């Protein structure tokens, strides 16, 4: 069963890559709402491709983040390690167009990067809380926060989460979820998105 879901995730990734390559237009709308402005573009090809969540536990996981838009090159990766009841994420990003800016990074609910990242749907929020700043009041389990990029567009973040597991209960399992990089800054206040702008990067967390 484990292998079956891994295959499904793999197929989803390939489909997402194919969709990105065949994308011909892109809007730079700074809206992260669930507005359906792009929903018609690729939803047909992505139908049925959503990865099932991988529940067998793992010690480590990885995500490769790709640019979602043709006019924004960039990407990144992160490694996840389970340790001492927590999961540590080591993230690196490279988005040259975003040099000297901060970009918001979240875990989104669905492991689907189709439709320029909109297939990932909203912030992963298994505890049904408000959007916010990690560690302070209410926040989503996907609310990682902002990453400062340097003059070449490079940035990194090490993040320890006590709300995440690699496998197991869907309320904590991050395998098969999407990491989304936004063009703007998370204000930690606006509901439910943090007003973080459009989606410029996306990847699906996979067991190593």
> Contact residues for Cu ion (CB under 5 A)?
106, 180
With left for phi above 0 and alpha for psi between -120 and 50, is residue 194 left, alpha or beta?
A: left
CB of 53 to Zn ion, least distance (A): 19
Query: Both tokens of residue 159?
Result: 């993040």
Contact 147, 103 (CB under 8 A): yes
Distance of CA 208 to the CA centre of its chain: 17
158 class by beta-carbon count within 10 Å (0-12 exposed, 13-18 middle, 19+ buried)? exposed
| Among Cu ion, Zn ion, none, residue 154 binds (CB under 5-8 Å by kind) | none
| Among Zn ion, Cu ion, none, residue 180 binds (CB under 5-8 Å by kind) | Cu ion
CB of 123 to Cu ion, least distance (A): 6
CB of 191 to Zn ion, least distance (A): 9
CB-nearer residue toward Zn ion: 140 or 207: 140
Cα-flanking dihedrals φ and ψ of residue 38, to 5°?
-110, 5
- Binding to Zn ion (CB under 5 A) within 87-126 occurs at 123
CB of 44 to Cu ion, least distance (A): 24
CB-nearer residue toward Zn ion: 124 or 153: 124
**Residue 48 CB: number of other CB atoms within 10 A?**
9
- Binding to Zn ion (CB under 5 A) within 125-184 occurs at 131, 140, 143
CB-nearer residue toward Zn ion: 50 or 143: 143
Residue 6, SS3 per DSSP: helix
User: What number of chain residues touch Zn ion (CB under 5 A)?
Assistant: 4
| Among Zn ion, Cu ion, none, residue 140 binds (CB under 5-8 Å by kind) | Zn ion
Prior bond of 174 cis (ω within 30°): no
Helix (H) or strand (E) holding 105: strand 102-108
Chain positions contacting Zn ion, by CB under 5 A: 123, 131, 140, 143
């Amino acid at each position: 069963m484990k292998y079956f879901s891994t295959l499904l995730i793999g197929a989803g990734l390939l489909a997402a890559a194919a969709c990105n390559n065949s994308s011909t237009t892109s809007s730079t709308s700074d809206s992260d709402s669930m507005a359906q402005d792009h929903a018609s573009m690729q939803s047909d090809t992505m139908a049925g491709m959503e990865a099932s969540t991988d529940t067998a536990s793992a010690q480590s996981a990885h995500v490769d983040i790709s640019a979602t838009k043709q006019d924004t090159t960039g990407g990144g990766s992160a490694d996840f390690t389970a340790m001492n009841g927590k999961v540590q994420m080591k993230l690196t990003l490279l988005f040259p167009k975003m040099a000297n800016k901060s970009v918001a990074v979240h875990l989104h609910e669905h492991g689907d990067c189709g439709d320029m990242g909109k297939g990932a749907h909203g912030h992963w929020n298994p505890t049904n809380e408000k959007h916010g700043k990690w560690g302070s009041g209410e926040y989503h389990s996907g609310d990682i926060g902002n990453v400062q990029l340097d003059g070449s567009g490079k940035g990194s973040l090490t993040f320890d989460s006590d709300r995440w597991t690699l496998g197991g209960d869907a309320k904590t399992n991050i395998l098969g979820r999407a990491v989304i990089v936004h063009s703007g800054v998370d204000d930690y206040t606006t509901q439910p998105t943090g007003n973080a702008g459009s989606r410029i990067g996306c990847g699906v967390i996979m067991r190593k």
